[in-house]
Amino acid sequence: MSTAAPAATPLSDAEFHRLTGAVLARIEATTDRWLEDDVIDIDVHRTGGLLELSFPGGSKIVINTQPPLHELWMASRAAGQHFKHVDGRWLDTREGGEFFAELSKQASAQGGKPLSFTPD
């Protein structure tokens, strides 16, 4: 029995760019709020469709849009994951996990404290 995510929702290139841009902006806004509230000092660097989160201690999480595949990729200390847009959510193509839940799990592990990213 496969645990893979269901088939991706078809997106136009413009929809893909709009949706992934919103994801990256949401992550930036969350980390900015944490910095302002002195929750954790995560350095964020964005270049186009690539967002790099640098944690205290030197570990990183890299989130990268993949326009030709209409995927969102995340590389962390623990795993490399690919996500496709399915019915309004970004789901892992192998395990089916939701992007923001997976990002929260990896960020919490690398940040050494509970950190929660949400889609809105």
What is the pTM (predicted TM-score) of this model? Answer: 0.93
**Among 14, 9, 30, 38, CA closest to 119:** 30
- Give the model confidence (pLDDT) of 30-72 as tens digits: 999 999 999 999 999 999 999 999 999 999 999 999 999 999 9
Q: For residue 42, tell me if it sits in a domain.
A: yes
Q: For residue 118, tell me if it sits in a domain.
A: no
Predicted local distance difference test score (pLDDT) of residue 5:
57
CATH of the domain at 76: 3.30.920.10
* Percentage of residues of the chain with pLDDT beyond 70: 96
Beta sheet of 80-86, edge-to-edge order: 43-47, 50-54, 60-66, 71-75, 80-86, 89-92
Q: For residue 5, tell me if it sits in a domain.
A: no
Please, are residues 44 and 52 in contact by the beta-carbon 8 Å criterion? yes
- Collapsing DSSP states into helix, strand and coil, what is residue 61? strand
- Supply the range of the domain harboring residue 27: 13-111
Predicted local distance difference test score (pLDDT) of residue 66:
97
